[in-house]
Structure formats: structure tokens, C-alpha cells
Structure 1
Amino acid sequence: MSIIVGYVPTAEGTAALDRAISEAHKSQSRLVIINSSRGDAIVDKRYAQAQDINEVTERLEKEGIDHLVLQPVRGNDAASEVLEAAEKYRAELIVIGLRKRTPVGKLIMGSTAQQILLEASCLVLAVKAGA
């Protein structure tokens, strides 16, 4: 079994990673970090750079967490990548970070978190930065 975390290099992504690490310690589960990009933009601020991934990897190794870091760029949205990883790695839990959005922003852009919450076949833990 494993814990999947949707990671982006933001305060929300860090909050999700922190909580996922805590849950992995408790359950002695493998932690699978998903940081994806559709690959349709020259610059994707949500796609972690090598330095970000190295810092995450060093932290997980230091804490003794069995882990796998995946950065797929296959044209899929982040929710699809997280949900696919949850199925593939038999997730017992998905951890995601939430950010505040306006009602209009939710209507126009949709919600990755909402899609994961509605479609996941396992438990989903949503955390806020600073909470």
C-alpha cells in the first residue's frame, strides 16, 4: 500500500507534503510524490525544478521514508495523474493541498482538488497551507 501526494512547489504543496510524510511515518507506507505538467507551456510554475525535487528527495531520505518521485509530462491534467498513480500503486490515501479560489475562478477553471475528491477510490486528505 502507498500514500500518494500531489506536490507543487508552493506553500500548499509543502503543506500537503508535510502531512503526507507524517501519514507515511504513522502507517509505514511508501510515499509516491506526483508533480506533473501537461507539457503545453514553455514555463509551468507548478512543475518542480530539479532543485525542488532534490530538496524533497533529501528530506525523505533523511527521514527514512520509502518513496518514489514521479514527474510525468504526458498531456494529462494533474488530477488524472494523481488518480492514475493512486490506482497503480494501490493507494490507501491521497494527500492534496488546497488554495483559496474565488467562486468565479472555480467556475471558469474547474478544480483539480474537486476532481480528486469526487473520483478517488481511496481516502483523500485535503490540507491548507499554514493550517
Structure 2
Amino acid sequence: MYHVVIGVDDNEERAMTCARAVADLPGDAAEKRVTVIHSFTDNPSGASASQLASVRDATEYLEEQGLEVEVNESSGDPAEQLLDAARDADADLIVVGGRKRSPTGKALFGSVTQTVILNADRPVMVAGELD
């Protein structure tokens, strides 16, 4: 079974881009297992990851494609949480969404995608835009 971990933030479009990329991976849907993870950096309302539209949409799409899906949530630095989840699950692939950021934005605020790419100990696929 090929295990994919997808990091999903609050953006529904990026979440769906990642979900479609995973569904399009070679092989039968029955041979793939997906863990969708969302890391809360601030959650004053106490929401669960499954209540977020981005997580719910991606999960529903993957299930409609016949993939086995699990949702995990964590709190803290999203890149670290995603890398830890992939390592703990011994995932075969990490999938993250790309987005355009200015060089100054990257330097000042960092990038979850960039951090995951640079620190992953397994393959990383970036779905969507990356400048």
C-alpha cells in the first residue's frame, strides 16, 4: 500500500489541487492510502480539522475517487508537524500545495513548502504554483 501524507492549510483551492494530484498518481486507488493533516497555529474556536472546508473538500474528493483517507490534526509549526506525521507514518510521499510568494515574503515569513522540501527525508511533491 502506497501511503501519501498531504499537508492542508485553510485554502480550499490548494487543498483540492493536492487531492487531485494524489488521485492522479499511478496505480489503482485501492493501492493508495492518504493521511490529510492540518496543523492549527491558532484555534480559538476549538474547531477540528474535519470541520475546515479545505480538509473536508479534499477528504470527500479522495474518498469519491476510492482512496482510503484518514484525517489528522495537530498544533504548532505546520512544516514540523507535517514532517513528523510523515516520518511517524513511514509515508512514501509528502504532498504540499505551492503558492506564489515574493522573495521578501519568503525571507520574512518563511514557507511551509520550502521548509518541507529542504528537510524531508522522503520524496515531496508540490502541487500547484511555485515560483
Do the two structures share a fold, i.e. TM-score over 0.5? yes
- TM-score, normalised to structure 2, is 0.79
Identity %: 27
Give the drift of 1:25. 5.2
Unaligned runs of 5+ in 1: none
Task: Tell me how far 1:61 sits from its aligned partner.
Answer: 2.7
Q: What does 1:34-53 align with in structure 2 at a 5 Å threshold?
A: 34-39=37-42, 42=44, 50=51, 52=53, 53=55
Partner Cα separation in structure 2 for residue 24 and residue 71 of structure 1: 27
Q: SS state of the match for residue 80, structure 1?
A: helix
**Is the CA contact (8 Å cut-off) linking 2:3 and 2:91 kept in structure 1?**
yes
Q: Equivalent residue of 2:107, what SS? A: helix
Q: CA deviation at 1:122?
A: 0.7
C-alpha contact (below 8 Å) 1:98/1:128 kept by paired residues = yes
| Counterpart position of 1:124 | 124
C-alpha contact 1:97 1:128 (8 A) present in aligned 2? yes
Deviation larger for 1-10 or 56-65: 56-65
Distance in 1 between residues matched to 2:63 and 2:74, nearest whole Å: 22
2 CA distance for matches of 1:24 and 1:9?
27
TM-score scaled by length of structure 1: 0.79
Amino acid at match of 1:7: V
> What is the alpha-carbon distance in structure 2 between the residues aligned to residue 54 and residue 102 of structure 1?
29
Code of the residue aligned with 2:3 in structure 1: it is S
Report the Cα offset of residue 78 of structure 1. Answer: 0.7
2:23 corresponds to which of 14, 21, 24: 21
Q: Which has the higher strand share?
A: 2
Change in Cα spacing, 1:128 to 1:54, as seen in structure 2 (3 Å) is closer
CA contact (8 A) 2:39 2:73 kept: yes
Task: Give the deviation of 1:42 after TM superposition.
Answer: 4.1
1:60 paired with 2:62, answer yes
Question: Aligned equivalents of 1:88 and 1:56: distance in 2?
Answer: 22
C-alpha spacing 1:109/1:12, structure 2 compared with 1 (3 Å): same
Q: 1:107 to 1:49 in 2, by over 3 A?
A: same
Deviation by residue 1:90-113 (Cα, 9 ceiling, x = unmatched): 111111111101111111001111
Q: How many residues align?
A: 123
